[in-house]
Structure 1
């Protein structure tokens, strides 16, 4: 995604990422994604752009016999945290590797289930990325994607962006998730990638704030970090002070975020079709 360096942003945000995700979304969200993978004994699972391992670890903690899970991410700092978390939980049938989701180093039909949570929009070519996930699935395999919908961390995110652009006129703001926030466009991307009968659903999630300053960890530990990195320390301090006051005055105690879910099961004989979709120019 032009203007957004996911590796740099998430290496920088890695220390606050896990806390931000926990605060932003309830554990039921990760459980839902994992449940949709419909894991069975012996399955091979891929968690694409795994971050600190939330989905991969949730799947591994089910301890289904013979299930092996691989998590991949381009941010090594994220992977370091994921590996440490796996060790803490005593999980052995799980590994984390550095890999770009647009150049996944696996043969066709390598996995029975693939998840990608809140990351596919970082791909330079989203259709090609989804087609590569589909190609890596065995017939009968399950694909589960989650993307950010409209109004992520609203209203705090909107206020933050307004203030950032007020303090820095002409500020380049790149928010890649906007490419997949509309479910009609998202369905079209999946269909163009060769995904068979994708089921797409939008839901709203609420994040309760303990205090008027609690919006900041969500911004600093998420993709909005790309905007923060373009601001001086003094500007950040001014924005935080002004927004804290605004949050208090407006009595904002809850942030809302839209989430889009995509699920699909690969029919028998679909491997060649997915490979063709991957090779076609878009």
Structure 2
């Protein structure tokens, strides 16, 4: 059998979850966007590229930072995600964001154009991260900065491990494999530095922050799973078994709920470097 194109699988999943991507349980996305822009502190009037923008939390924060004279280009392969961002642009009357359906691994911009290239929780979905990063540098001005965010080793644990084990029991993942989510590909900060260095970046910096919070209960953990990239795995469970899967999984998560709720660990690496 022909294996589905990994890129097409990503598009399908993120088109599917677009409607729930701004769910309150996933508020680590806007939290991280605000921290990313605060760390970067882009100068007013500059041009910024937001890769894998999703529903635009980074693009929206960046647009405010660079001001009316600045410009934000926001790209994504999932058209449904960009539709959600377009709704926000119209609703809030934001004049300085342009949207493009575009592959992060094949940028269609001219060389040395952007002052900043950002990618929040997207680079690890690319099959060849090194090649993509070199492409990002091509469109970045000399002296410009590229920054990406990725999840640390502790992020979403121990719930994610229980989720993966449950997927194995339902035959979605093989027990003989050591499956990892895409987000764990850069969980080691040393790997982030290595990736940036191999692309020829200088002044490399990787900083880690804890952006976690308490969910109300295990039902909101399901909201996280259902409205993010992990939905792709859930969709592989036969429809007749999904409710049983959910019931079993949330039953094993329930004992983790404390007086303050269910702790959602969101360990985040902010990794960046400057183009010579």
CA distance in 1, matches of 2:256, 2:42: 45
Q: Which moved more, 1:64-73 or 1:255-264?
A: 255-264
State the partner residue of 1:161: 164
CA distance in 2, matches of 1:181, 1:207: 19
Residue of structure 2 aligned with 1:219, choices 213, 220, 225: 225
1:1-282 superposed matches below 5 A: 5-19=9-23, 23-25=26-28, 27-62=30-65, 64-168=67-171, 170-171=173-174, 175-251=181-257, 253-266=262-275, 270=276
Tell me by how many angstroms 1:94 deviates: 0.8
TM-score by length of 2: 0.89
Q: CA 1:211–1:102 in 2, change beyond 3 Å: closer, same or farther? A: same
1:139 aligns to what SS in structure 2? strand
State the partner residue of 1:279: none
| Bigger relative contact order, structure 1 or 2 (CA pairs below 8 A, ≥6 apart) | 1
2:16 aligns to what SS in structure 1? helix
Q: Can you list the C-alpha shifts for 1:191-219, whole angstroms capped at 9, x where unaligned? A: 11111131012233323111221101111
CA distance in 2, matches of 1:119, 1:57: 17
Tell me by how many angstroms 1:24 deviates: 4.5
Q: CA 1:262–1:2 in 2, change beyond 3 Å: closer, same or farther? A: farther
Q: Tell me, which stretches of 5 or more residues in structure 2 are unaligned? A: none
Tell me by how many angstroms 1:170 deviates: 4.6
Q: CA 1:120–1:179 in 2, change beyond 3 Å: closer, same or farther? A: same
Residues 49 and 101 of structure 1 are in contact (CA less than 8 Å); yes or no, is this contact kept in structure 2? yes
Residues 46 and 66 of structure 2 are in contact (CA less than 8 Å); yes or no, is this contact kept in structure 1? no
Alignment RMSD: 2.2
Q: Which moved more, 1:248-257 or 1:182-191?
A: 248-257
